Amino acid sequence: MKPYRVLIFDWDGTLADSTAQIVQGVQNSFCRFGWPPPAEADIRATIGLSLREALRRLCPQLDQQQTEAAIRAYQHEFHHHREQTVLFPDAGNTLQRLQQHYWLAVATGKGRRGLDAALNETDTRSLFLATRTVDECASKPQPEMVLSICDELGVHPAEALVIGDTTHDLHMAHNARSSAIALTTGAHTPAQLQTAPHLAMLDGLTSLAAWLAE
């Protein structure tokens, strides 16, 4: 097994098959106000960022009051109208296998309430020694989530491997001086992922387990 001490996973699009759900939630939130919904490709490009940062990039013309209204609308959509969180089919078994060799953690653009709900729905809370959200740390691609997890677990950032499906995850790892693996299972295309630093680009969690075992 490769000599990392902690594997830090993104959540949406990496462990959870939730990219389409997020796109629909953002578009529905805009429609509630009669605003033209952003295009799917534009929303996918912002997945992994904090909701506030995503809205700033999607609609820079929104004022503060409109931004706050859009955030509340999305949160309402997420907590009251979405389907239950579903992991990728190979996620549960792969995490349990990896837990035998590594500490596991999560760094996500979700808020704490959203991540806690997802962990409960997927019965995965016990697998992770540490979790960070944008409620505790700066949004990706800032390195704070990785650095905070490493500090809690007493490991050097070089001993952490970040796994994510967006360039935001990969740049976060680079900014923390950690390594990263890109997965093609989520929001960003292989061409987009290729623009950010990573050790390997893999097609899913099963391939990640095989790569780590090499």
Q: Which residues are catalytic?
A: 10, 12
| Rounded-to-integer distance, Cα 88 and Cα 105, Å | 17
Cβ-proximal residues to 46 (8 Å cutoff; 6+ apart), any chain? 53, 54, 57, 58
Q: Which residues pair with 160 in a beta bridge?
A: 6
Based on C-alpha coordinates, what's the Rg of the chain? 17
Please count the CA atoms within 13 angstroms of the CA of 145 that sit on its side-chain side.
35
Burial (0-12, 13-18, 19+ Cβ within 10 Å), 55: buried
Both tokens of 136, joined, read: 């505790």
- 19-32 and 64-80 are packed helices; what angle lies between their axes, rounded to 10 degrees? 130
The DSSP element (H or E) to which 106 belongs, if any, is strand 103-107
Q: Which residues pair with 105 in a beta bridge?
A: 8, 130
